[in-house]
Amino acid sequence: MHSSPEFRSLKAKIRLLCKQRRIRLEEFMKTFDVHRVKKIKSEQFKRALDVSGLHLSSTEINLLLMKYRIPDDPSFVDYRRFCDLMDKVFTVKGLEAKPSIHSSTRGDFEALKTFALEALTPAEEAILAVIKQKLLAAVMNKGIVLKDVFHDFDRSNAGKVTRPQFVRDISDIVVLSSEEMDVLLKAYGDKLDVHYRALHFDICPGASGAGTKAAQPRSPERRHLSAPNGTHQCDAVQELEAELAELVLRDRIRTKNFFTDFDQLRTGKCTEAQFRRCVKLCFPIVTDSDLALLVQKYGTIKTLDTTKVDYIRFCNSVEGRIKLENNNYDDILATITKATNHSSADKCSRTMRGSLTDTDASVHQAMMQRLHTYCSTRRVLIKPTFQDFDKGKREHITVDQFFRVMAMFKLTLNSDSERKALLQRYSSSHGDRFVNYVTFCYDLENWGSDNQRSGSRPSSRGLVSEIIVPAKLRADTFEETAAESHVRSVPMLIRYIKQTIKRDRIRLEEYYRDFDKLRHGKITAAQFCAGLNAAGFLLSRAEMALLGDEYACQEVDSMGKHWIAWKAFVDDVESVFTVKNLEQNPHHDLKTLETREGQFGGVIIDKDLTPDEEEEVKRVLLKMKREIARQRMEIKPAFEDFDRSKQGFISSTKFERVLSMFALLPALASDTRLLVIKFREQAAIGTSATLSSICDVNYRAFLQALQILGGYLTNSSAEDIRKLVLPGSVAFRQEVYQSGIVNHDATKRRARDDLGGKADLSQLLADLRRQLSEKRIRLKEFVVEGDKLRSGEITVAKFHTALNRSGCVLDAADIQTLSEHFRSTRNPDKINWRSFLEALDFSHGVSIPTSARSNQEQQQDNVKLILERLRNEVNHRRLHMKPYFQDYDHNNVTRVTKFQFAAVLDMMHLCLKPAEVQTLTYQFAHRDGRKMTSDVNYLSFIQAVDSDYS
């Protein structure tokens, strides 16, 4: 009979393997249990264990057979008892019927704590510690996950590999001496294998159990948390929270999201059962004793039937945030109030900044002013480099990554006080180890305009609404923050709205119809603002109030606020598209809409330049022309790269970008603005009627101005340059039109079609017959699709479509010839397709003159006589001409030139006159479509004269 210690050791081994590999043994046994009687034969039991990949020895399998063999029928094994016992490592069956049972699976692993067959000496322990340090440094520097290195050899995912495989893989990571390798194999090896997974959890950073001894590997699957004594409960809880914090940091777990489903009122508390369930979902490795410790620490309200647990304090503790000792309802209300008022005690976010003392604030202002001057002068854009380190778009990076980017752009800090102030100001809400680079970049870019802005800004939402509807709490965006810093006037707002709706093709009426069911044309102020927000306009409350006052009605609503005439507002802004009721007023004067002032609410735009500004533009252009001539640059292709549609103008930002690429951008922003105004795209009548012209630059006019100034660089006085008048975009376009240059492709195509003559109808039909025969095209099926009633006539457009879909190769002259010849006599706008198909038929044809027919018959007779004579000569002399033609046809295209054709005939000593050779060349000429080429199709000629190929 088997001994009890042997079976307990085997049971612990199988449970450990099942736990590591997540194996349910019952799934392998079911395959052999067809009738579901929960018993299988002994041989089937062995096969199931072998398929599961447990790799048990014959002695161990026999031990299991002796244990679970059915006494009444020794040939069968009761696998249900075996599987239920082994599955206790996951759960215990019948817990629904007996909820008071407390299961624990930790005691089964007591016997399997070590891998080393012999204990390590103190000297070997020291060597092992050095080896772990080497492996840790190699893993950190190379970015390696240690256990993934051995997965190729561990096909069954048992967590171990053979000794040669272990030595081979570990040597690729770190160089170890023979003595160190022996110590490592002794510490983590058994008789044949080495447990690499235990080594991984011992040395890998962030893994649970890292840093413990090799004899007691601690992994997430094999944690051993003993129940602490009463005197050491505080230390045990702190140790448990530290390990859970490591898991949160490693796996990036958001623990609070697991609890909010049970706390709909956001009180920050849940029941004990809900707390245990959520913690178990977050951290499956936590045992019941651990949960009891957590409940004992964070339990707040205890009644007869339940216990309330403060999960907010628990989440803040494991996530490394500030702990709130007395987290009751008043504390939560104070927290919401503090977040609502954007207190300086909060961490940095898009709307808040960290608090600074007076000394640190002065240091921070001097530092940001210096960095802002450096970045704006050198035009440094650092945000994309920060985003390279933020792959998850979380808007924060580590401190080391932050200062690494600063060093890349040579943004140095003068002292430790500046570093301290910077980290304190922009420390992320995710922890002190992270920096909110998005807020830093925004402050750095806008430091010159809003450096006096305080670190906190009152929220635009009320406290009561945030408490009642906490799910709608959100941070203000940068656009909203910037929009509230200044208020635009009503004409500027109308211009902005018109620009946006014309660019994005927005119809504002669709956003207000739902608020005005009866179409009175009036809505409340709140509905008016809601419509603007839904349309996507970034307007502050003050700007919306201005628009509401502009279109306010005399009537007031129940709140005492004036109604808003939304129809008048929509008609005003949508006048950028058209004017309503033109059908009723056909004589309405639309001249006011031809200018941008009429389109965009009478906003004052930039007028023409003054004489002094014209002189400044000439000076800037002369400087550019000298630089272009000195470096021999060609800048026109760079402008055309941004002008995909070849319109001749691009946006002002792209214009400045091209000049910056070639280092031609003026140093002063005022000079750049003068260039944009000078060459802005506008129509011939004063200003343009298009929206895009507000910010577009005609680069062709700019290039022409540079070309004109190029002639004044040499042999020109200052007086000549002063009298020179550079053309703008309007003058440039008028000059181009007056020169008679036609650039439109459709105009060119139309002119080419008009100049093209008509094709010969007989040759055209012959070519169509040849194409239909070679390509096996059934043209009638394509034509009759346009004539459902089979009237015999189709429109010209459908006739052209049928020819195009059939695949016949025809040009514009061919199609025009067919359309004119087969036009219907009853309906001149249609084609008689029946007569067209009859003309294509060989039994019907187009009438050919008698003289032309007699000439063709005579030529055919001459060709037949020549071919008959050549055929007799080839058969009599047994000539084989194809290889001689192929000597000239290296690409095997079955054609040669007419001179090569004549050379082969002369080589064969065929007595042919030049006229006869010319006749054969014409008869077997290669055709490219319907065009006759000078090449000869020698394959057709050979098939005609050689009986072996005919």
Question: What letter does residue 308 receive in the DSSP assignment?
Answer: E
| Rounded alpha-carbon distances, angstroms, from residue 34 to 41, 84, 356 | 12, 19, 74
882 compared with 453, residue with greater pLDDT: 882
Q: Does 657 lie in the same domain as 617?
A: yes
Where residue 110 falls among pLDDT bands split at 50, 70, 90? very low
Can you tell me the mean pLDDT for 383-411? 86
What does the pLDDT average to over 339-351? Answer: 48
Residue-level pLDDT at 466: 36
Instruction: Please report which helix (H) or strand (E) contains residue 447, including its range.
Output: helix 447-450
- The answer to whether 207 and 200 are in contact (CB under 8 A) is yes
The lowest-confidence range among 201-215, 322-336, 850-864 is: 322-336
- pLDDT at residue 671 is higher than 70: yes
CATH of residue 696's domain is 1.10.238
- In a domain, residue 335? The reply is no
How much of the chain exceeds pLDDT 70, in percent?
Answer: 79
Check whether residue 939 and residue 858 sit in a common domain: yes
Best-predicted range by mean pLDDT (473-482, 531-540, 927-936): 531-540
Last residue of a domain, one of 815, 840, 865: 840
- At 740 the pLDDT is 56
Does a structural domain hold residue 673?
Answer: yes
Same domain, 293 and 396: no
Looking at 569, 599, 629, the residue that finishes a domain is 599
**Does residue 718 share a domain with residue 625?**
yes
Contact between 511 and 518 under an 8 Å Cβ cutoff? The reply is: no
CA–CA separation, 470 and 453 (whole Å): 28
pLDDT number for residue 465: 36
The answer to whether position 712 is within a domain reads yes
Task: Tell whether 627 and 727 lie within a shared domain.
Answer: yes
Q: Is residue 218 part of a domain?
A: no
Residue 112 has pLDDT above 90, yes or no: no
506 and 580 co-located in one domain: yes
Helix count and strand count (H, E) for the chain: 48, 19
Q: Is residue 294 part of a domain?
A: yes
CA distance 162 to 185: 10
Size of the chain in residues: 950
**Cα–Cα distance for residue pair 896/885, rounded to 1 Å:** 7
Residues 840 and 767: their CA atoms lie apart, in Å, by 10
pLDDT value at residue 851: 55
Beta-ladder partners of 301: 308
CA of 344: how far to CAs of 357, 419, 426, in Å?
11, 19, 12
Question: Does residue 473 lie in a domain region?
Answer: no
Query: Do residues 879 and 908 make contact, with C-beta atoms less than 8 angstroms apart?
Result: yes
Note whether 192 and 234 are same-domain residues.
no
Percentages of the chain per state (helix, strand, coil), in multiples of 5: 55, 5, 35
Check if the beta carbon of residue 396 is closer than 8 Å to that of residue 327: no
pLDDT of residue 40: 92
∠ CA 575-577-579, rounded to 5°: 45
Q: Which of 378-392, 592-606, 860-874 has the lowest mean pLDDT?
A: 592-606
3-class SS at 831?
strand
What is the sign of the dihedral through the CA atoms of 288, 291, 295 and 297?
A: positive
- Residue-wise pLDDT tens digits, 298-338: 888 666 567 889 999 999 888 876 443 444 444 443 443 44
What are the Cα distances from residue 769, in Å, to 627, 836, 839, 856? Answer: 64, 12, 10, 18
Q: Two tokens at 113? A: 């704590």
User: Can you tell me which residue has the tokens 């895009």?
Assistant: 692
How confident is the model over 742-760, as a mean pLDDT?
54
Q: Supply the pLDDT for residue 486.
A: 65
> Do 388 and 438 sit in the same domain of this protein?
yes
Contact 495, 601 (CB under 8 A): yes
Q: Between 527 and 734, whose confidence is greater?
A: 527
Q: Residue ranges of the alpha helices (H) in 807-923?
A: 812-821, 833-840, 850-877, 882-888, 898-907, 914-923
Assess if residue 222 is contained within a domain.
Answer: no
Both 628 and 726 in a single domain? yes
Kindly report whether the global pTM for this prediction surpasses the value 0.85.
Answer: no
- At 175, is the pLDDT very low, low, confident or very high (cuts 50, 70, 90)? confident
State the amino acid at position 607 in one-letter form.
K
* Domain stops at, among 203, 220, 251: 203
> Are residue 620 and residue 705 in the same domain, yes or no?
yes
At residue 930 the predicted structure's pLDDT band, cuts being 50, 70 and 90, is low
pLDDT at site 223 = 39
Inside any domain, residue 344:
no
Mean pLDDT of the chain: 78
Q: What are 432's two structure tokens?
A: 């002190």
The Cα 699–Cα 637 span in angstroms is 11
Residue 567 and residue 615 in one domain: no
Q: How many CB atoms lie within 10 A of CB 758?
A: 12
Q: What is the pLDDT of residues 50-76, one digit of tens each?
A: 888 888 888 889 999 888 999 888 889
Spatial neighbors of 632 by CB under 8 A, at least 6 apart, are none
Which structural domain, as residue segments, surrounds residue 503?
487-599
Residue 536 has pLDDT above 50, yes or no: yes
pLDDT at 102: 58
Average pLDDT over residues 245-253: 80
pLDDT at 549: 92
Per-residue pLDDT at 863: 87
Q: How far apart are CA 697 and CA 655, in angstroms?
A: 7
Q: Which amino acid is at 685?
A: I
Give the CB-side neighbour count of residue 638, counting CA atoms within 13 A.
14
Which carries the bigger pLDDT value, residue 451 or residue 508? 508
Question: Is the sign of the CA dihedral 33, 35, 37, 39 positive or negative?
Answer: negative
pLDDT of residue 114: 52
Query: 690-695 — which CB contacts under 8 Å span 24+ positions?
Result: 691/498, 691/499, 691/502, 691/503, 691/576, 691/599, 692/651, 693/596, 694/499, 694/596, 694/605, 695/651, 695/652, 695/653
| Closest among 620, 629, 612, 642 to 702, alpha carbons compared | 620
- Provide the pairing of β-strand 562-565 with 522-523: antiparallel
Does the pLDDT value for residue 794 go beyond 90?
yes
Predicted pLDDT of residue 480: 47
Helix (H/G/I), strand (E/B), else coil: 410:
coil
Q: Give the model's pLDDT for residue 903.
A: 92
The two structure tokens encoding residue 158: 């048992």
Do 860 and 900 share a domain, yes or no?
A: yes
What is residue 229's predicted lDDT score, i.e. its pLDDT?
47
CATH value at residue 578: 1.10.238.10
In the block, residue with structure tokens 């007086």 = 719
For residue 286, count CB atoms less than 10 angstroms from its CB and return exposed for 0-12, middle for 13-18, buried for 19 or more: buried
What is the tally of structural domains in the chain? Answer: 8
Q: Provide the pLDDT for residue 757.
A: 57
